[in-house]
Structure 1
């Protein structure tokens, strides 16, 4: 009797996931050490211990790899503010969650600033849609809970404008503004919006 050996599809998925994790970890380390400019496919493949062909098949090119790095971190961040522990996740009062979200969003942007700078400047409206829409919906919901008389939709845009990667890069790198100062300013901006409107 002849037995045909077939590859276990589940095992292939596990191996693919393991390779993906190794590739993204290697790419993240290279970006952290050398910036986006240092993200060369051959170097990432060597650091991850995979063939360059595997890298191109999975990510297409250098920009596809950069977007995968953003996407991986973005999923973690969204999971944290949607379903993670308080105060970032559910379970704290809306004003506390707003401050936690804004602080975490500053950290998240600073962490991948070069990658987000590349992504947000790829096209005139590249910053909007996707993650921005998720941030905006989340922040609008919390603002409406915290300040029912405020225009939550517009205020969410005003707060998120401060987190644009080009602006953050300019302030942090060219103007010497710290991430902590930006966080404090965002908190002040939200507090100002909560004051009684002048008629």
Structure 2
């Protein structure tokens, strides 16, 4: 009886994983084709070939689904930061990696085709900023600040720096203040230089901060 229960549990987990992958795949296709703001839960369930109840049971609501899709879309960028080529990935001084990280984020937000950016704009703020992805990027920036020899509370400095990179701030500066991406990237590099004016990171670190 125990073995049968175990088999049933494994089958249920496998079915749940397949449904999750199917739903996220369907959502990704529809968002890419129509834009995140035009995609409904009903359309996603239909595209995935599952009942609407299954979709809500798995993700709770539209915000929960978009957050899961956002996390998947961010996975590739996080992998580049974790193990890709320098300066974004390991092998460069922490100060250079920090500069590259912010410039890459700004470039993605300023782009017109970045899936993560489109999804982030649809997420409620409380989910966007209090999420696993936000925690990962805070940890990354905080760790790089410490490695680069920043003078101060690296945890709070990371929060301050990431405020400049949040999508609302970048969109406001670009669209309401007519600040182009190149100027934003130059300002980010200047912020890093001011927070880490000299740096104490003579040897590039091979370990990832993520």
TM-score normalised to the size of structure 2?
0.69
Work out whether residues 142 and 154 of structure 2, in 8 Å CA contact, stay in contact via their aligned partners in 1.
yes
Deviation at residue 40 of structure 1 after TM alignment: 0.4
Pair 194,49 (structure 1): closer, same or farther in 2 beyond 3 Å: same
1:113 equivalenced with 2:112 (yes/no): no
- Structure number with the bigger relative contact order (C-alpha 8 A, sep ≥ 6) is 2
Deviations 1:25-65 (A, max 9, x none): 32233334444331201111222233323212212222221
What SS does the corresponding residue of 2:165 show, helix, strand or coil? coil
Paired residue for 1:19? 19
Pair 174,45 (structure 1): closer, same or farther in 2 beyond 3 Å: farther
Work out whether residues 85 and 91 of structure 1, in 8 Å CA contact, stay in contact via their aligned partners in 2.
no
Work out whether residues 77 and 108 of structure 1, in 8 Å CA contact, stay in contact via their aligned partners in 2.
no
Please give the alpha-carbon distance, in whole angstroms, between the structure 1 residues aligned to 2:76 and 2:32. 18
Pair 158,7 (structure 1): closer, same or farther in 2 beyond 3 Å: closer
Deviation at residue 7 of structure 1 after TM alignment: 6.7
Paired residue for 1:66? 66
Structure 1 segments, 4+ long, off by >6 Å, are none
Paired residue for 1:85? 84
TM-score normalised to the size of structure 1?
0.72
1:169 equivalenced with 2:175 (yes/no): no
What SS does the corresponding residue of 1:162 show, helix, strand or coil? helix
Deviation at residue 186 of structure 1 after TM alignment: 1.1
1:140 equivalenced with 2:142 (yes/no): yes
Aligned length: 189
Deviation at residue 166 of structure 1 after TM alignment: 1.5
* Structure 1: gaps spanning 5 or more residues: none
* Structure 2: gaps spanning 5 or more residues: 199-210
Deviation at residue 163 of structure 1 after TM alignment: 1.5
Please give the alpha-carbon distance, in whole angstroms, between the structure 1 residues aligned to 2:52 and 2:131. 32
